[in-house]
């Protein structure tokens, strides 16, 4: 009920304007939003970061899970340590290490590329990969524990190569949890803004940063713009989730 109310509230705010005569129904905020090139940049930047951070996290998680699947709980616990650490703390650590004048800069005598507050958003992606890859690896390890080792051995006995076992035993086992995890990660990255505020560039902004700035520029008219921008972020998250579920569906239907 609260969530439905929140969505209804956001839609209502995006189509009303507060003025001296009270509230007026208007699509002005949506028109301004869709005509603003800064918003188009924000959508592109946010989607690019979400896709890149999710894909890199998934690849690293697969590597971690494949490496640790036959290891003890102590190694797994070590690898999972970043999971309970808040995103903002990982962003602080990234600034201390990777910003100009940071520890890496001092140790190496200069970094070849800027990775904090850079226009490409590399710093944002790095923070999310450090934080989300262990989370995805935990999901994969849980899925791999359910009899996968025995199925792999059976396939090996039947003469399957390492690649064939990965394709026909490991991948079908981990595909479901990996897709679910990736959807959660992508949705989070699309909407969160403490990490971009801490390590992201001043331009382009993410959608959430754009929405926050809208109310700082113009408190009354900005509220409609802010709500409309955030509704676009919500729609983008849901569309990405639907697309991921469709892509992950096996052609044979399982």
Partner 1 sequence: MTERSASRRVLAPALALAMALPLGVMVMRAFADAWRAPAVIPQGWGLRGLREALSGMALDALANSLVVAVVVTTAAVALAWPAARALGERRVRHPALPFLLLALPLLVPSYATGTGLTPWFLRLGLADTLAGLVLAHLVIVLPYVTVVLLSAFGPPVTALEEMARSQGLTTAQRLRWVTLPAVGPSLAAAVLLGFLVSWSEYGSSLAVGGGRPMLPLVLLPFVRSDPQVASALSLLFLAPAAAALVLAARAARSPL
Residues making contact with partner 1 (CB under 8 A): 2-3, 5-13, 67-68, 71, 74-75, 78-79, 81-82, 84-93, 95-97, 101, 103, 105-107, 109, 130, 183-184, 187, 190-194, 197-199, 208, 211-212, 226-227, 230-231, 233-234, 237-238, 241
CB of 52 or CB of 187, closer to partner 1: 187
CB of 40 or CB of 75, closer to partner 1: 75
Whole-angstrom distance between the N-terminal and C-terminal Cα of the chain?
A: 33
Q: Which helix (H) or strand (E) holds 19?
A: strand 16-19
**In the complex, minimum distance from the CB of residue 84 to partner 1, in angstroms, rounded to a whole number:** 5
Closest CA to 151 of 164, 139, 136, 142: 164
Burial class (CB in 10 A: 0-12, 13-18, 19+), 100: exposed
Provide Rg for the chain, Cα atoms: 22
**In the complex, minimum distance from the CB of residue 75 to partner 1, in angstroms, rounded to a whole number:** 6
**In the complex, minimum distance from the CB of residue 47 to partner 1, in angstroms, rounded to a whole number:** 13
**What six digits make up the tokens of 238?**
């849901």
CB of 173 or CB of 237, closer to partner 1: 237
CB of 9 or CB of 172, closer to partner 1: 9
CB of 100 or CB of 171, closer to partner 1: 100
Q: What is the DSSP-derived secondary structure letter of residue 205?
A: P
**In the complex, minimum distance from the CB of residue 168 to partner 1, in angstroms, rounded to a whole number:** 25
Q: Where are the alpha helices (DSSP H) in the chain?
A: 2-14, 28-35, 37-68, 73-79, 87-98, 103-108, 122-144, 148-157, 162-165, 171-191, 194-199, 207-217, 219-248
CB of 171 or CB of 235, closer to partner 1: 235
The answer to whether 65 touches 200, Cβ cutoff 8 Å, is no
**In the complex, minimum distance from the CB of residue 67 to partner 1, in angstroms, rounded to a whole number:** 7
**In the complex, minimum distance from the CB of residue 9 to partner 1, in angstroms, rounded to a whole number:** 4
Q: How many CB atoms lie within 10 A of CB 61?
A: 27
């Amino acid at each position: 009920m609260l969530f439905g109310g929140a969505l209804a509230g956001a839609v209502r705010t995006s189509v009303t304007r507060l003025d001296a005569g009270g509230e007026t129904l208007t699509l002005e905020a949506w028109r301004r939003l869709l005509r603003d090139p800064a918003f188009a940049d924000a959508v592109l930047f946010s989607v690019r970061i979400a896709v890149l951070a999710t894909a890199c996290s998934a690849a690293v998680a697969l590597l971690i899970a494949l490496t640790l699947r036959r290891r003890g709980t102590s190694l797994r616990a070590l690898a999972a340590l970043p999971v309970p650490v808040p995103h903002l703390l990982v962003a602080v650590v990234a600034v201390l290490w990777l910003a100009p004048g940071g520890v890496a800069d001092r140790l190496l005598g200069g970094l070849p590329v800027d990775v904090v507050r850079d226009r490409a958003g590399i710093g944002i992606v790095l923070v999310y990969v450090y934080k989300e890859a262990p989370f995805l690896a935990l999901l994969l390890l849980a899925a791999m524990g359910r009899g996968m080792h025995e199925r792999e051995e059976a396939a090996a006995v039947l003469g399957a190569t390492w690649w064939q076992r990965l394709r026909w035993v490991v991948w079908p086992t981990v595909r479901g949890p990996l897709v679910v995890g990736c959807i959660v990660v992508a949705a989070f990255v699309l909407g969160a803004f403490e990490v971009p505020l801490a390590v992201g560039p001043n331009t382009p902004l993410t959608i959430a940063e754009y929405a926050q700035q809208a109310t700082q520029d113009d408190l009354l008219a900005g509220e409609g713009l802010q709500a409309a921008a955030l509704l676009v972020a919500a729609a983008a998250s849901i569309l990405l989730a639907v697309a991921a579920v469709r892509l992950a569906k096996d052609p044979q239907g399982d």
